[in-house]
Amino acid sequence: MVSKIETFNLNSVYTDYTYTIRIFIPEYIEKVDHLPIYYILDGSSYFPFASQIINLQSLNAPKTKVSPAIVVSIEHGEDRRDRRFYDFTAPAKTYVYPERFQNRDVRKNGGAKKFTEFLMKELKPIVHQKFPSHGAEVIFGHSLGGYYALWLLLMNAAYFDRYIAFSPSIWWNQYELEKLALPFIKAKDFSPSPLFIAVGGKEGFMVEDSDKMYQLLQPSFQNNIAFYKAEDENHASVVPTAMSRAIRFISSF
């Protein structure tokens, strides 16, 4: 089972930042035409795992419904903790921070629009040039990355075909995502993109937050949305526990 990984650095004029990009290509198939493309946020943590999960499940596609796929990793450098906080949070006129942030230095935030410009105008054109006849495009994010995936869905759903949000930080800026969801589902031209939300059963208030978002969206999304609470899992362990399930759901469309 031979596969290929291409690696390069991409300097963004929109974010003024250099990202490491890795692309997993399943070379054991003759043609890469019409393969789905997964974009993995926080790729330094999740790209190896995600690419292998997709790869392994695609070997038994008649049962899993998972096809071979291109997997694109988007990675920050050594300043990852600070930089992802900026890239994955939306701009706002004012920010309301939870009590647990009191007496703490809050990292720079509000760069999500610039990060989206990077994705759509710099990264995607390179990926599309390599794979012009690609299939559905999927974005995966965890924690603040999960918040960003939901934010992007609510703001510009057409930018990706399918969305995966694990342990999304719905609490950010006094639950602004819940406010964005209301006009989104009431839009006349509403056409839901498949969405998978997962959270670990031991994630405290984030379990209720994720379930509430699911309940808010489900009547409009109907069968295009799934919610999974991984019992006995925490903020970190939910990712390996729920990834296979998420990939299978997203691949069913």
pTM attached to this predicted model: 0.95
pLDDT of residue 102: 67
From CA 36, how far away is CA 251, in angstroms rounded? 9
Bridge partner residues of 12 (DSSP): 17
Tokens representing residue 10 in the block: 């991409």
From CA 136, how far away is CA 152, in angstroms rounded? 16
Tokens representing residue 38 in the block: 């997964």
206 sits in which H/E element: helix 205-221
From CA 153, how far away is CA 139, in angstroms rounded? 10
Tokens representing residue 9 in the block: 């650095």
pLDDT of residue 2: 55
pLDDT of residue 38: 98
From CA 108, how far away is CA 40, in angstroms rounded? 22
* Residue with tokens 């602004």, as numbered in its chain: 176
Closest alpha carbon to 177 in 163, 191, 189: 163
pLDDT of residue 105: 67
pLDDT of residue 52: 94
pLDDT of residue 1: 47
From CA 161, how far away is CA 163, in angstroms rounded? 7
From CA 65, how far away is CA 13, in angstroms rounded? 39
Q: What are phi and psi of 17, to 5 degrees?
A: -150, 150
Tens of pLDDT along the chain (253 residues) come to 457 999 999 999 999 999 999 999 987 666 767 899 999 999 999 999 999 999 999 989 999 999 999 999 999 999 999 999 999 999 998 888 777 766 666 678 999 999 999 999 999 999 999 999 999 999 999 999 999 999 999 999 999 999 999 999 999 999 999 999 998 888 766 678 999 999 999 999 999 999 999 999 999 999 999 999 999 999 999 999 999 999 999 999 9
pLDDT of residue 94: 83
* Residue with tokens 């009547």, as numbered in its chain: 219
Bridge partner residues of 138 (DSSP): 38, 162
